[in-house]
Amino acid sequence: MRVAYAAQGMNSPAQESNLDVAALADGWLPLLQKWMDQASAAGIAEPNAMVLATVDAEGLPASRTVLCKGLTEDGLVFYTNYGSGKARQLDAHPYASATFSWIAFAHQVTVRGPVDRVDPEVTEAYWRTRPRGSQLGAWASQQSRPIDSRAALDAQLAEVTARFSGVDDVPLVPGWGGFVIRPRTVEFWQGRANRMHNRVLVTRTDTGWIAERLQP
């Protein structure tokens, strides 16, 4: 099967410069931000989507998509229900891997590292930016818990919608908030012809970062 890269033009992998290994030793953030911005400018749906991998109590990996809602030197922030499967897994084993794939650009980035909950004020500030419908949806769902039917779920939404009908600012759901993945390694992958792809692994050290090229 052939990968369908973006047609001709500036997005074509063939016209993109090779990854600058030396520049990546100055830090992983600028290039990750650039690739995400590129995907966003091209109109790719959910350009901040990343597949988050955790492990369960048996060591069985689990993965799902979440949205990266904060990107700084400290790490990558996503928001979720603290009672969800992923959150329970992270509480027990606070390490994660997250992969962005922008297939149209032949770009992939994988971040791995320890995970912490963000400060409640950070969650509160983000919560205020969420649309009311998303806030109500968060109140209505005990994420990852079984429920008997779609009708039961809809009834839960109707109940919270009525409960907050006279309330301008829907309060933060108790047990909902952010996690930050603090990168220990960040791998950049850039597709090239004949499987001769570029890969650069950026690794945290005591004093900064080192970047090394990996074979494809």
Question: From the list 28, 79, 100, 102, which residue makes contact with ligand FMN (rule: CB under 6 A)?
Answer: 79
- Owner of token pair 């992939």: 108
**How many residues sit in the footprint of ligand FMN (CB under 6 A)?**
15
Identify whether 195 is a catalytic site residue.
yes
Phi, psi angles (nearest 5°) of residue 187 = -110, 125
Sequence-separated (6 or more) residues with CB below 8 Å from residue 107:
35, 38, 39, 100, 101, 188, 189, 190, 191
- The answer to whether the annotation marks 15 as part of a ligand binding site is no
Which of the following is catalytic: 163, 195, 204, 213? 195
Question: From the list 144, 156, 185, 203, which residue makes contact with ligand FMN (rule: CB under 6 A)?
Answer: 144
Q: How far is the CB of 61 from ligand FMN (least distance, A)?
A: 11
Please report, as residue ranges, which positions from 89 to 118 form the binding site for ligand FMN (by CB under 6 A): none
Angle subtended at Cα 113 by Cα 111 and Cα 116, rounded to the nearest 5 degrees: 120
Q: How far is the CB of 131 from ligand FMN (least distance, A)?
A: 14
- Is residue 67 within the footprint of ligand FMN (CB under 6 A)? yes
Give the residue among 28, 60, 77 at the shortest CA–CA distance from 189.
Answer: 28
Which active-site residues does the annotation give? 195
